[in-house]
A and B are shown apart, each in its own frame.
Chain A
Amino acid sequence: DGGITQSPKYLFRKEGQNVTLSCEQNLNHDAMYWYRQDPGQGLRLIYYSQIVNDFQKGDIAEGYSVSREKKESFPLTVTSAQKNPTAFYLCASSIGAGENIQYFGAGTRLSVL
């Protein structure tokens, strides 16, 4: 079955530590996105990528980094510079950047120890 796989489902970060969230899709989509969701709120865009080896900052990119070395993979690193990383992180993809519908993974819940 085609879809978007995020791992791990739960992740814990120690102070000063970088952690990486995985996002893999087998939908052959060109565009991929990372969102952050805080309790009781909607989604906010962190980073997006329209094509391999290219990505742009979203609304809340500070303290995060991404890479897009392969079409199917778009990992997100939460760096130690992100002072409030506790949130639910969702990865999405769409056929192209101009395509309308974004499809989402099941999310990763990140907590700080």
Chain B
Amino acid sequence: AQKITQTQPGMFVQEKEAVTLDCTYDTSDPSYGLFWYKQPSSGEMIFLIYQGSYDQQNATEGRYSLNFQKARKSANLVISASQLGDSAMYFCAMREGGYGQNFVFGPGTRLSVLP
């Protein structure tokens, strides 16, 4: 079974608008972490934001925020004020338990920002 689901293969957003990228996850482990990475066409994976399963507040990092809904097992990425440089693949990932090797990536969403 898929542990990380990203249902939007591609998304378009107008420059300066906000956009939400969906991510749902599946785990029975009470301790887990959720991550979002950005992969531009150059290929490097760039860490954006992290949310721990016990964190009470939604994570924010600059223009990125993570809408964490634990009961729904949802960890959507919100990008505010989109920029042309935000055009890239975005991957949601989950770490289960206490060890970094149990790291699972979703299939990704390609975001295109339109001028």
Contacts and interface: CB of A to CB of B under 8 A. Distances in A.
Chain A interface bracket (under 10, 10 to 19, 20 to 34, 35 or more):
20 to 34
Interface residues of B, number: 24
A96 interface: yes
Main secondary structure of the interface of B (DSSP, over half): strand
A100 B101 contact: no
Interface of B: 4, 33, 35, 37, 42-47, 50, 52, 91, 93, 95, 98-101, 103, 105-108
Given A42-B93, A48-B101, A98-B99, 13 more contacts: A42-B106, A42-B108, A43-B45, A44-B105, A45-B101, A94-B100, A97-B101, A98-B98, A100-B52, A103-B47, A106-B43, A106-B44, A107-B44
Interface of A: 31, 33, 40-45, 48, 50, 56, 58, 88, 90, 92, 94, 96-107, 109
